[in-house]
């Protein structure tokens, strides 16, 4: 075991982690740990773009209203106002560091429109915006002398003192098969989402709920984990072993139409905005229509687009479809919903600070109050940029870069790692977890399904905890430990909400309840989830 010390420890290398590293490097030394290559993250898979008020036909009030309406009554208005009014400056900063957004013939930023937005306000880089933002941020961070990037290092748990202050994290070194203590005055959890809890997800394989699980084990409150956003349009493939490929909402923003196999456009039956309805509405509509007709998928029709427009606007999607034998300019794209984005997470304030002193949460891992019961399209990268900036400003204002105290307990208390565990046990456990979460805690839920899911996840959790406590420590075990923990927390939150609102739809409680409230969960003295409903701030 080795000890690494820095002013800042950043866990995760998506836009939240990289932007945090860029800002933290102005204030002190930085260690950034990431469990894969430094370029692998949910950000890389973000196709649509970044929402911001950048035209004279748009207003902050309009963007705020669109966000609040999508959030179905659960957004915290101050949090929404914070990211919206900070948006234009965040975009300008990205351009300054080299992000190349798509521009029109006159050189102005080309603005797209997605579901839930009343006007065009989405800046983008073709259909690979996330990859372009990450490219520019990573290039900038790699050039900083006081930032050290540790690839293939997996954060296990936060290091806390007797007063509950965070001083870094235990980190698993995958190459050398040992745990290290990464000490820091300030820790930023930027680990992304938890889409791999489900059988079908648009997320990369690294999205295993690490931050949510670590936050819970450390005693931080979590909120609104029942609100998993299912992206309505991932490319449907009969081979379920293939990772779903996201078809960005911007396709519908440009005029794409959802149809059943007989060519009927069905969204007008489900929402006044038709194909531009919020994601939760579209996902449930596709789910309902395919089940009613006994069809495996819906069809996204873009054949009416101007010739050549689709391949120019969405070259990555166009190429993927061709590789799968579908020419979007001649035939519809088969689509089906898939788990995409967690709107809940570790609860933070308006500066991304958690309840654990010294620990900030940024990006999809956080529950900032921005997304409410349903995230408005293309608000996620904006949220990560704005709150990572605010976190580092808070650190500077409060002078938080004090050294770790002497006598901090750094004894690795787990048994010596073992190599004897058969991988088939872990593969079976993961597949079982993902299928039961998809079947019982998916787009449509019920009390009976949640009860069955809780019983079965409890057994899986005991199995994985047993492997971990016996010393079977490797990346597969660590990821499964976090997956089953996060799945258990999602089920608890879903069970608590006795209504249907936004992304949470239950057959037993089909109508919303007023006044709206957050679901807040915390670990009790016995290590179990304890849940309560907290009214939404009226501000």
Catalytic residue annotation: 279
Picking from 99, 174, 161, the residue whose alpha carbon sits closest to that of residue 130 is 99
Give the pairing of strands 178-189 and 3-11. Answer: parallel
Q: Sheet harboring 122-123: ordered strands across? A: 50-51, 122-123, 111-112
Contact yes or no for 34/149 (Cβ under 8 A): yes
The strand ranges marked E within 284-369 are: 298-301, 333-342, 345-347, 359-361, 366-367
Contacts of 534 (CB under 8 A, 6+ apart): 517, 518, 520
Residues in contact with 294: Cβ distance below 8 Å, sequence separation at least 6, in sequence order: none
Q: Write the burial class of residue 354 (CB in 10 Å: 0-12 exposed, 13-18 middle, 19+ buried).
A: buried
Question: Which one, of 43, 38, 354, lies nearest residue 189 by Cα?
Answer: 354
- Contact in structure between 478 and 33 (CB atoms under 8 Å): no
Residue 38 near residue 500 (C-beta atoms within 8 A): no
Nearest Cα neighbor of 522 from 164, 57, 261, 179 is: 164
Tell me the helix, strand and coil percentages in the chain, rounded to 5.
35, 20, 45
């Amino acid at each position: 075991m080795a000890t690494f010390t820095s002013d800042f420890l950043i866990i995760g290398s998506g836009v939240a982690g990289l932007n945090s590293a860029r800002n933290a490097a102005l204030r002190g030394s930085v260690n950034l740990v990431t469990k894969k290559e430094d370029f692998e993250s949910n950000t890389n898979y973000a196709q649509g773009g970044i929402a911001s008020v950048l035209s004279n036909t748009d207003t902050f009030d309009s963007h705020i209203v669109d966000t609040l309406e999508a959030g179905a009554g659960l957004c915290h208005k101050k949090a929404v106002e914070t990211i919206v009014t900070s948006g234009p400056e965040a975009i300008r900063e990205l351009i300054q560091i080299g992000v190349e957004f798509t521009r029109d013939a006159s050189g102005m930023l080309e603005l797209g429109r997605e579901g839930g937005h009343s006007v065009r306000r989405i800046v983008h880089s073709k259909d690979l915006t996330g990859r372009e933002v990450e490219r520019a941020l990573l290039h900038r961070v790699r050039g900083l002398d006081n930032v050290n990037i540790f690839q293939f290092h997996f954060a296990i748990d936060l290091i806390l003192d007797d007063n509950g202050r965070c001083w870094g994290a235990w980190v698993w070194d995958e190459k050398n098969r040992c745990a290290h203590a990464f000490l820091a005055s300030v820790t930023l959890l930027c680990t992304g989402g938890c889409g791999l809890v489900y059988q079908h997800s648009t997320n990369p394989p690294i999205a295993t709920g690490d931050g949510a699980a670590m936050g819970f084990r450390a005693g931080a409150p979590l909120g609104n984990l029942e609100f998993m956003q299912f992206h309505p349009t991932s490319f449907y493939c009969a081979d379920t072993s293939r990772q779903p490929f996201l078809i960005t909402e911007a396709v519908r923003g440009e005029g794409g139409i959802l149809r059943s196999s007989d060519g009927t456009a069905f969204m007008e039956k489900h929402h006044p905005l038709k194909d531009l309805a919020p994601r939760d509405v579209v996902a449930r509509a596709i789910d309902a229509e395919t089940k009613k007709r006994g069809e495996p998928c819906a069809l996204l029709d873009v054949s009416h687009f101007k010739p050549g427009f689709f391949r120019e606007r969405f070259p990555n999607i166009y190429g993927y479809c061709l590789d799968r034998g579908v020419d979007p300019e001649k035939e519809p794209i088969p689509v089906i919903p898939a788990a995409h984005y967690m709107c809940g997470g570790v609860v933070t304030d308006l500066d991304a600070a958690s309840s654990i002193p010294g620990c900030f949460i940024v990006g999809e891992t956080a529950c900032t109050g921005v997304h409410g019961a349903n995230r408005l399209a293309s608000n996620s990268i904006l949220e990560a940029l704005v709150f990572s900036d605010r976190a580092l400003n808070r650190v500077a204002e409060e002078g938080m870069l004090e050294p770790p105290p002497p006598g901090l307990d750094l004894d690795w208390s787990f048994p010596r790692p073992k190599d004897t565990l058969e991988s088939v046990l872990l593969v079976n456990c993961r597949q079982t977890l993902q299928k039961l979460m998809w079947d019982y805690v998916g787009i449509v839920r019920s009390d009976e399904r949640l009860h069955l899911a809780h019983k079965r996840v409890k057994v899986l959790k005991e199995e994985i905890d047993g492997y971990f406590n016996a010393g079977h420590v490797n990346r597969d075990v660590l990821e499964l430990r976090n997956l089953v923990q996060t799945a258990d927390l999602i089920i608890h939150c879903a069970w608590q909400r006795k209504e249907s609102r936004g992304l949470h739809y239950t057959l037993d409680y089909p109508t919303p309840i007023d006044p709206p409230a957050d679901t807040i969960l915390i670990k009790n003295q016995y290590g179990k989830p304890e849940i309560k409903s907290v009214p939404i701030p009226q501000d």
